[in-house]
A and B are shown apart, each in its own frame.
Chain A
Amino acid sequence: MVTALQTIEKAEVLKTGAFALISKKLWLSKPAYISAIVLTILYLSAGFADFLAPYSMNFADPDLANAPPSKIHLMIDKGYISGPFVYRMERLFDVDTYKQVYSEKKYARLPVKLFTKGEVYRLFGFIPSDLHLFGVDVPGRIFLLGSDINGRDNFSRLLFGAQKSLTIGFLGLLIMFPVGILYGGIAGFCGGLVDNIMMRVAEAIMSIPGFYLLIALAAILPAGMNSTERFALITVILSFIGWAGLARVIRGMVLTIKQQEFVEAARAVGQSEWKNMIRHVLPQTTSFVIVAATLQVPNFILSESGLSFIGLGIQQPDASWGNMLKAALDNANDLYNQPWLLAPGLLIFLTILCFNTLGDVCRDILDPKSSTV
């Protein structure tokens, strides 16, 4: 770690500043460029979920539960293309085979409309609107990725789930990094007994396998929380797992930095220790923090989905990618015939892939020679 820091110092980082350097160089790398675009699309979709989704998160058509993806028909008639349109689906039950089948009622075509009016919502929580990107008139339904056990649209829920799954990473950073940096900074700066005790506690946390700690913490969440509180507490728990490791690295860096000349100089001028640390020591860790943060976001996303997947994270009726993927596990013996249930998993994968790529490129820019963090 320390060697990495020294390399950074030699580089241009000090001249231009880490953020400026990244914004200058990041776009030169094609994967980073594409990752950034994909992530932007994902985040925008999450932000505009109300508009993009044909239905709201809790909208349910109980007569169309467990429906397969709607078929969108195009009709070519005398060289003209009419459509796209859907048919109303209908569920039939056969007592002898215990089978529910969905068939299309082919007597009324229901065109898929763009910019159609639907359920009322508040965009970003305050702009009232009822405009949806696409939709079909009742009694038709457009379920691009089928519907779940309650007849809720999987596609819409995927978008609303993204709001939770994608933001939890950044919210987690907001908690974990200040705590980790301050904790490590204080330990490193004070040294001696304080350092010793603080580091033993951090080590104890690091010595519990992360996932065990995660589930043990998730299991003690008090009952009777609403979904926002639960979401917030899950975020806190996720940040709890990583901060100790971060603190230890920061401490190591601070220990080195504080022996450097300019810190000594500031001390000689008579700056207080605290000011000294905030002004001179901690800023030196920026490069590392940026890289660590980009690589930490996918970890948060992964942990949240894992936790929700086993039922300890975000819970019904709220949607998150992890708890939506649980439907795939519930249907494990028939997954082959319902591959659309894996869509949340693929989105988790895609998001993590993009974040990992961005993280790697950031590190290459800030720290061309480093190999291990």
Chain B
Amino acid sequence: MKSVSWANKETIEQIRSLLLVFVTIFIVLNACACISIESASGEMHTAVQERTSSATKEQKNLLDNIYKAPYPGDYKLVTIEEGKNLEEVWQARGGVGKAGGVLNVSSFGSGPKTFNCWAASDDQSAGIASLMYESLLDVDPWTAKSYPRLARSFSVSHDHKDYTFTLRKGLLWSDGYPITADDVVYTFGTLIAKGFGNSSARDILTVYGHYPTVEKIDDLTVRFHTEIPFAPFLSSLRMAIAPKHILEPITNKLIAQNKIGEFNNFWDINCNPETIVASGPFKLHRYVPGQRIELVPNPHYSMVDKLGHRLPYLSKFVNLIVPDQNTQLLKFYAGDVDLLDVRTVRGSDAALVKQREAADHFKMYNLGPADGTIFLMFNLCRRKNPKTGKFYVDPIKQKWFNNSYFRQAVTHAVDRKRMVDNILRGVGYELFTAETQASVYFNKQLQPFPRDIEFAKKLLEQGGFHLKDNVLYDSEGNKIEFTLYTNAGNSTRDAVCIIIQNDLKELGIKVNYQPVDFNILVDKASNSLDWEGMVMGLTGSRLEPYDGANVWKANGRLHMFDQRLAINGDKIVVSDARDWEKEIDNCFDKGATTFDLAKRHQYFDRFQQIAYDQQSFIYLFTNLDLSAVRNHIGNYMPTPLGIGSSPRGSMHNIEEIFINDSASEALKK
């Protein structure tokens, strides 16, 4: 407690009272500043500017404005001879740039959790890893087709069980050690197979309980074999190859000590950055926790430009770590960073950024709908808690939530357009389907619909509900009322819930909105199951809908609308799947084992149709991916499919990106 007395009260008192008066007047004036006086002559009853564009038109216009980078053609394999060494390298597809220069970017959050590519479980760690490591193959950001990366070529056997990869000649790790088939076999046969680091990688590769085998054919050739043909398998091989010569001694030791978990402590954020061995365009140079990451070119990166200069062009890649998107914007305005990537420019910021485009010498790119979704869901669980013998969800409410008329009514009553208009300030998309428009598997047949409160009321009537004095009752006379949870402290989710609350009030449904901590929210959804309604978000995949299996299959770990729990921490057994849940399971299973693209599309279209009919997730909206890049950054060619984890983000061709000095010189003048 600190406080100080006035020694000469009399005089200071006067000043103080003046101050108080001043502040009061200031605040009053502030409140009244909005009053304007007009003269009669200036007053005109002008015709109303009627809103010409309807909701769908605005959405369509946003879609029409998506930036389309011209297709640069395929990579070409060229051979470099240096003395006796023969090296096969890819020739970059973009224009010839200028070597040297620093690229400053930023990402928000607390920074990466690890530099160990195989232990990464968060977006930023994965983003840094994607700058440092190459995989056997990658997906072309224009055509969505797989093409070889570390490999020079690959082939798939006729029965879709064998995948043969031939590595390029003369590949080197950043420490000069050769990259060979041994590294590939070690990565898939030991590191991932034994569950080192983030064992999710093993799950992704495991096909119906069978982990694929990998064998070395010769120094540069490996073959994978799966028990069952599995369509997503090829794209799941896009995993970073690990340097066996560095990691094997460590993993061997850990296996001997039976401490596999401690692998996560290797190459963690406290390690010496110079010790990290990379295969990608960059290697780690410096890390200042919570502040910045600096990467420098990997001298042995095997890609050249059209004139034969070795890439990457940049002499340094600096990633500033800032706490939030606002700071990223401020840093961009101040000229501290050269690029604002997708997920940084939120809908509500878009207009402001756009406004500065010409004066601040940058260009904004509209990359179309994002892959993340925001949705409302109801707890459809009909089971009892085995420990307490009580229902997880009140049996009365269970009936409402499981009544598909109820969910249909809700989906027609929530005002997606207003959500986009208010929360994203018009810069976003209304969402009706499980796959967003960003996905190559998006089902175009499913029509968006406008809010229709009368139709919703009719649906409720058909579902056995009735409205009396603006309160909705079920057939047994219970008032319809539920608690809606979302995570606290998130302005977007807050606003979504408040709009839902107001919209459903018109149906006579009372929504008790309750923000809770994110931790608690997740615990409710995945463990304690004591919730009724919830607003959540999930990230999606643009290329592979099967990645959603965890969410959509009845035994999935994130099958949140009716989460089945693992018994004794083991496998999740499903005993009460609904017919449509079974059909979705079937779509995913078939979709996973079908290689014919048209047929795959059919299965995943069907899955989206069921999700659309059942409204188990009531999808609300998705963001627009926007990026802004200064004019002196050369070769920036973003595509909607080429968006990865921050800080790499939309710079899928990071090795080709260069700093155009002449442009920045001109800018200074």
Interface residues of chain A, those whose CB is within 8 Å of chain B, are 29-31, 33-35, 38, 58, 60, 62-63, 65-66, 69-78, 84, 90-93, 95-100, 103, 105-107, 144-145, 149-151, 155, 219, 223-224, 226, 245-246, 249, 291-292, 295-296, 310-312, 315-317, 326-327, 329-330, 332-334, 339-340, 343, 346-347, 349-350, 353-354, 357, 359-360, 363-364, 367-368, 370-373
Please, how many angstroms separate the alpha-carbon atoms of A346 and B515 in the complex? 27
- State how many angstroms separate the Cβ of B293 from the closest Cβ of chain A: 23
| Chain A: minimal CB distance from B434 (Å) | 26
CB distance from B240 to the nearest CB of A (A): 36
Contact A98:B14 (CB < 8 A) given known A31-B20, A73-B38, A346-B27: no
> Is the Cβ of B351 less than 8 Å from the Cβ of A62?
no
B residues 7-52 near A (Cβ < 8 Å) are: 9, 13-14, 16-17, 19-21, 23-24, 26-27, 30-31, 33-40, 43-49, 51
| Chain B, residue nearest A64 (CB) | B422
> What is the bound-complex CA distance between A75 and B140, given in angstroms?
64
When distances are taken between beta carbons in the complex, the residues of chain A under 8 Å from B14 are 30
Shortest Cβ distance from A292 into B: residue: B1
Give the chain A neighbours of B9 by CB distance below 8 A: 29, 364
* Residue of B whose beta carbon sits closest to that of A72: B35
CB < 8 Å neighbour of A145 from B6, B31, B348: B31
Apart from the given pairs A31-B20, A91-B421, A333-B333, 20 other A-B contacts in the complex at a CB distance below 8 Å: A29-B13, A33-B17, A38-B24, A63-B421, A75-B39, A84-B35, A93-B58, A95-B65, A96-B65, A98-B347, A98-B426, A107-B45, A150-B498, A224-B514, A226-B514, A317-B497, A329-B326, A330-B491, A333-B349, A360-B6
> Once bound together, how far apart are the Cα atoms of A209 and B371, in whole Å?
43
Q: In chain B, what residue has the closest Cβ to A144? A: B31
| Contact pattern, B 332-368, Cβ under 8 Å of A = 1, otherwise 0 | 0100000000000001111110110000000000000
**Can you sample 23 A-B contacts with CB below 8 Å?**
A31-B16, A34-B21, A72-B34, A73-B37, A75-B39, A75-B43, A78-B40, A90-B49, A93-B53, A98-B351, A107-B47, A226-B512, A296-B1, A329-B326, A333-B326, A340-B30, A349-B23, A353-B23, A363-B5, A364-B9, A371-B4, A372-B3, A373-B1
**B: interface residue count bin:** 35 or more
Give the residue of A310, A332, A360 whose beta carbon is less than 8 angstroms from that of B3: A360
Tell whether, in the assembled complex, residue B502 and residue A62 are in contact, meaning their CB atoms are under 8 Å apart.
yes
What chain B residues lie within 8 Å of A353 (beta carbons)?
19-20, 23
Q: Are A76 and B40 in touch, CB under 8 angstroms? A: yes
Q: Is the CB of A62 within 8 A of B499?
A: yes
B62 within 8 A of A: yes
> Measured between C-beta atoms, what is the minimum distance from A161 to chain B in Å?
15
B351 touches A76 (CB 8 A): no
Which residues from B are CB-within-8-Å of A90? 49, 51
By a CB distance below 8 angstroms, the chain B residues around A367 are: 5
Q: Tell which of A84, A107, A223, A357 touches B20, judged by Cβ atoms closer than 8 Å.
A: A357
B423 proximal to A (CB < 8 A)? yes
- Once A223-B516, A330-B326 are accepted as A-B contacts, the answer to whether A149 and B491 lie under 8 Å apart by CB is yes
Cβ of B576 < 8 Å from any Cβ of A? Answer: no
Check: B156 CB closer than 8 A to any chain A CB.
Answer: no
Would you give the shortest CB distance from B39 to chain A, in whole angstroms? 6
A228 to B214, CA, bound (A): 61
Q: A149-B491, A224-B516 are in contact. Are A74 and B1 (CB under 8 A)?
A: no
Q: Is the CB of B37 within 8 A of A76?
A: yes
Chain B residues contacting A74 (CB-CB under 8 Å) are 35-38
A311 touching B354, Cβ below 8 Å: no
- The chain A residue sitting closest to B65, CB to CB, is A95
Q: With A330-B326, A360-B6, A363-B5 as given contacts, are A350 and B425 in contact (CB-CB < 8 Å)?
A: no
Contacts of B577 in A (CB 8 A): none
B354–A70 touching, CB < 8 Å: no
Asked if B468 is at the interface of the complex by the 8 Å CB criterion, the answer is no
Known: A100-B421, A360-B3. A350 touches B33 (CB 8 A): no
Nearest chain B CB to A364 CB, angstrom units: 6
B2 touches A30 (CB 8 A): no
Q: Are A373 and B351 in contact (CB under 8 A)?
A: no
Minimal Cβ-Cβ distance residue in B for A69: B34
A73→B36 contact, CB < 8 A? yes
Q: Give the distance to chain A from B519, nearest Cβ to Cβ, in Å.
A: 9
Say whether B45 contacts A149, CB under 8 Å.
no
Question: B422 touching A65 by the CB < 8 A rule?
Answer: yes
**Inter-chain contacts of B5 with A (CB < 8 A):** 360, 363-364, 367-368, 370-371
Question: Cβ of B20 and Cβ of A332 under 8 Å apart?
Answer: no
Give 8 nearest A-B pairs by CB, closest first: A311-B489, A65-B422, A98-B350, A31-B16, A77-B40, A69-B34, A99-B351, A95-B61
- Whether B546 sits at the interface, judged by CB under 8 Å, is no
Of B6, B421, B423, B494, which one neighbours A93 at CB under 8 angstroms? B421
Report how far A129 CA is from B329 CA in the complex, Å.
Answer: 47
B285 sits at the interface (CB 8 A): no
Distance in Å: Cβ of A95 to nearest Cβ of chain B: 4
Chain A neighbourhood of B49, CB < 8 A: 90, 92, 103, 105
CB-CB under 8 A from B446, the residues of chain A are: none
A291: chain B residues at CB < 8 Å are: 3
B330 lies within 8 A of A357 (CB): no
Name, among B17, B49, B65, the residue most crowded by chain A CB atoms within 10 Å (CB to CB): B17
Q: Is B20 a contact partner of A38 (Cβ separation < 8 A)?
A: yes
Known: A35-B20, A332-B330. A373 touches B2 (CB 8 A): yes
Partner of B39, one of A76, A317, A333: A76
CA distance A29 to B15 in the complex (A): 12
